[in-house]
Amino acid sequence: MDMLNDKIERWYSMNEVCEYLGITRDTCLTLIENSGMPGIKVGRIWKFKTSKIEEWMQSGDKEIVKEKKVFRLGELFCGPGGIACGAKRARSNDGAYSIEHVWANDYDSDTCKTYRKNICPEDPNSVFCCDVRDLDIAKLEKIDAFCYGFPCNSFSNVGEHKGFENEKYGQLYWYGIEVLKAHRPEWFIAENVSGIRSAGSGDFEIILNDMREAGYKLNVNLYKSEQYGIPQTRHRVIIVGIRNDIPVEYKIPDPALYANCDISARTALSNIPNDSPNNETRKLSADVIRRLSYILPGENIWQAEERLGKDFPEDLKIHTKTKISQIYRKLDPDKPAYTVTAAGGGGTFMYHWTDRELTNRERARIQTFPDYFEFVGNYSSVRKQIGMAVPCKLSEIIITAVLNCFAGIDYPSTKANLEE
């Protein structure tokens, strides 16, 4: 809504005026009483005419100071803090709306230690390290914002892909529904892999319906990270829900804003400080180094074998029934990295174009974690944490958009690419 540029004479409701000015109803009533804000009361309903509001807004040195609002954030399946890191940096464009951490939950000990160390070092007890099934959701502190990347093991194209048939992981999304019902946050964000759309038999629609029945209007979109200035081809379904009784509509940030970003792996991995944490280089075997020497930047081993034919040494070939594209695949320095994964055996560790494995700090760079963000645990644990995380920058972009919507601030947007 752009009230001052609205050329059509019309009446606005108090909710519309409050949304535009970024104020509460109480503040609006105070302005009516003390500052001459023009409105007509019809029964119990206030109405505001376009021309009168415009005259009032443009008269004298009138400045509307937007009330500050800090959304209290809770998280399930929080991971090491990719969402939270982005949330802490997010602000509405006028600086009035922001986020604060209240509580988080994950089952992995190292992951929780990483979250505590970087997100809430002053309040470590706000991170509940336990199986979500043992968490007393109703007794958690009150929140008005909620994020969760529910486990994707049942939905990933490289996972079991059994949907709800996987009892261990497939139904864990429901605990997020319990949070929505118990705490009624004003908005929430849920994240999962792109494969969730086709997992099981109508599983995705069941999840969306459960979110709607909990009282939320949904915006469902497949976000391609590389379109948002992130140096990685990571595609994720992200659902933004806003409570039905709140007159706010979320709009997807237009990726065209990031079209000129340098998302090359070369830039992403450049100038890492020598003393950055988690930057140890793993020593590779002689055979792995030889194998990498035959692979060009951007290629995987299968492409190298096809290109070289008989010139590719027989003892360096990989003999498997399936040919996964990321096996011994090198980064192309002039393109974004391929998707950072959490686990996998030989050949899945991501490789630099200079014939070595990436460090965990380099993986974290690709996931847009700041260099000061320190992961806790051994090499494999840290690799897993980084691979499971939401890119910090993507979190910041989406949550900033949510805050702008609540602040009544317009921004370039695009339509959702997935049907509800």
Residues with a catalytic annotation lie at: 152
Greatest Cα pair distance in the chain = 87
Contact status, residue 142 vs residue 183, Cβ threshold 8 Å = yes
The tokens for 375 are 């992961």
CA 200, 205, 211, 214 torsion-angle sign: negative
Beta-strand pair 145-148/187-193 = parallel
Q: Are 240 and 209 in contact (CB under 8 A)?
A: no
| Pairwise CA distance, residues 194 & 200, whole Å | 13
